[in-house]
Amino acid sequence: MKDIVIKPARNLVGSIRLPGDKSISHRYAMLAALAQGTTRLRNFSSGADCASTLGCLRSLEIEIVRANGEVTITGRGGELSAPRTALDCGNSGSTMRMLSGILAGQPFATEMIGDASLSRRPMRRIIEPLTQMGASISSEEGHAPLHIQGGKLQSIDYKPRVASAQVKSSLLFAGLLAEGETSVEEPVRTRDHGEVALRAFGAQISRDKNRVSIKGGQRLKAIEASVPGDISSAAFFLCAASLFPESNLVIDSLLLNPTRAVLLDVLTALGARVRMVQMEEQHGELVGTVALEAGPLKGIVLAGAQSAALIDEIPVLAAIAPYTRDGLVVHDARELRVKESDRIAAVARNLRAMGAAVTEHEDGLTVPGGQQLHGAEIDSEHDHRIAMAFSIAALRAKGETIIHGADAAQISFPEFFQMLEAVLER
Ligand code: S3P
């Protein structure tokens, strides 16, 4: 475990471009493996999670070359080979849940394993529907390791109880391999990268409100793409810039898909000035340049669909909330308890360590505004978003902060600390 010391900063000024979005990188890699031909991906996510996906695909005998800033993946038109060893998904829930949908449709057995955190995360949400489709999956009471015996799948019409884009993508990928038309109806709308990526690779998908459908047996074609910058990684910089009245931050080639860009609305509602320019569509994904200048930060209440859409950004929003005037209230974010760590508990504990008052709810938290934090020892709990969120809180604290387990940032954003230092003024 590596420690990093974060000193308070005076300002944040700079122009950056971020490594490719994690959600899109996973999906492009998996679909490239199913497609016919060689897919070329520039700006693929540099995080360990997406490397776990590539590692699993290599074990399924998909040829992958990573060189000169490009990942090339040669699909075999839907054919994969039985792996010789267990597929190691590392810390990546996306890898385990989405790849399960593909493995459910293969004529062989696979074992999927993960690290301690991933082995604690709920998998029944994919086991149940994939079993209904015809796969046979055993687990440790709903947790990894998963043993998947795939085979011929039947389509399904499914309403997941939890709002999860990973579950939706997993079932659409399985639906692609199934007989008939598979539909997934979400309780609230989640990120739509699975649908967008399937279309980019040539599949037809239909949508009616929150219900998405795919016909089985469609063939995918390889693509050439540049993965848009990760907006969940951008969140740390955008929130940091919001803390300094004189700040000026520009992020280009950033993913602006409306199902992911809710943070920009929230920062605007809080009082930051956010501009979006040079917007264009790339393989169905909206991409553009974002410029942010800080303004006095008010407060905000998040609930319902907004909490679901911001699920990965809530830790950093909570980490800057003490510095706002009116604070932050979050409800309907129960899913945070089953992420890489219990993020509600981890955020509350670490905010308290920095001297903040905070109330934990079963489905969220309340962080009052108008609080000055002091430097403290932060425990990342091996969770990348906790390590990065508290590095941002530390920028306006009194005194130095030590982030224990700062190397967790490798999971989604290995360049984080270096890029942050490059835009800070002290
Ligand atoms: C993701 C969906 C979300 C999110 C995760 C990535 C995805 O998880 O928290 O970081 O790429 O589909 P859930 O599907 O569990 O909500």
The angle that helices 165-177 and 22-34 make with each other, rounded to 10 degrees, is 10
Protein residues with CB under 6 Å of any ligand 1 atom: 23, 94, 164-166, 169, 191, 311-312, 335
**Number of domains the chain is built from:** 2
Q: Which residues are catalytic?
A: 312
Q: How far is the CA of 169 from the centre of ligand 1 (A)?
A: 10
The reported pLDDT for the residue numbered 1 is 79
Of 175, 207, 225, which one is at a domain's C-terminal end?
Answer: 225
State which residues form the domain around 56.
22-225
Distance between CA atoms of 237 and 419, rounded to whole angstroms?
9
Angle in degrees, CA 388, 281, 186, rounded to 5: 65
pLDDT tens digits along 28-39? 999 999 999 999
DSSP 3-state assignment of 293? Answer: strand
Compute the distance from residue 124 Cα to the ligand 1 centre, in Å: 15
Q: Is 137 in the same domain as 111?
A: yes
From the alpha carbon of 338, which atom of ligand 1 is closest? 15
Torsional class of 27: left (φ above 0), alpha (ψ -120 to 50), beta (otherwise): alpha
Burial category of 131 from C-beta neighbours within 10 Å (exposed 0-12, middle 13-18, buried 19 and up) = middle
Does 299 share its domain with 202? no
Distance of CA 96 to the CA centre of its chain: 13
Do residues 210 and 330 share a domain? no
- Which residue type, as a one-letter code, is found at position 282? Q
Residue 154: give its domain's CATH number: 3.65.10.10
Task: Specify whether the CB–CB gap between 89 and 67 falls below 8 A.
Answer: no
Q: Let me know whether 216 and 252 are in one domain.
A: no
Going by the DSSP 8-state scheme, the letter that residue 404 receives in this structure is E
Q: Give exposure, 162-179, as e/b (b: 16+ Cβ within 10 Å).
A: bbbbbbbbbbbbbbbbbe
CA-closest residue to ligand 1 atom 4: 312
Residue bearing the CA closest to ligand 1, atom 6: 23
131 and 236 housed in the same domain? no
Residue among 97, 123, 164, 344 whose CB has most ligand 1 atoms within 8 A, to mutate? 164
Token pair of 147 as six digits: 């043993």
331 and 390 part of one domain: yes
Instruction: Ligand 1, residue 27: give the atom nearest the CA.
Output: 11
Pocket test for ligand 1, best of 121, 311, 332, 340 (most atoms within 8 A of CB): 311
**43 Cβ contact list (under 8 Å, min separation 6):** 19, 20, 69, 226, 227, 228, 229, 253
Residues 200 and 241 reside in one and the same domain:
no
| DSSP run (H or E) holding 226 | strand 224-226
C-alpha span between 421 and 246 (Å, rounded): 17
State pTM to two decimals.
0.98
Measured CA angle at 424 (ends 422, 426), to 5 deg: 125
Residue nearest to atom 10 of ligand 1 (CA): 312
Examine the fold and report which residue of 180, 206, 225 is the final residue of a domain before the chain moves on.
225
Residues 198 and 291 in one domain: no
Q: Are 212 and 195 in contact (CB under 8 A)?
A: yes
User: pLDDT under 70 in the chain at which residues?
Assistant: none
Q: How far apart are CA 273 and CA 360, in angstroms?
A: 30
Ligand 1 center to 28 CA (angstroms)? 15
For the stretch 257-281, pLDDT in tens is 999 999 999 999 999 999 999 999 9
Residue 241 and residue 189 share a domain: no
119 and 183 inside one domain: yes
Distance 337 CA to ligand 1 centre (A): 13
Farthest-apart Cα atoms in the chain, separation: 61
Domain boundary among 208, 225, 242: 225
Q: 291 and 186 in one domain? A: no
Q: Which atom of ligand 1 is nearest to the CA of 162?
A: 16
- Statement to judge: residues 103 and 238 lie in one domain: no
Q: Is the dihedral of CA 409, 415, 417, 420 positive or negative?
A: negative
Peptide bond before residue 145 is cis, with ω within 30 degrees of 0: yes
CA 44 to CA 25: how far, in whole Å?
Answer: 6
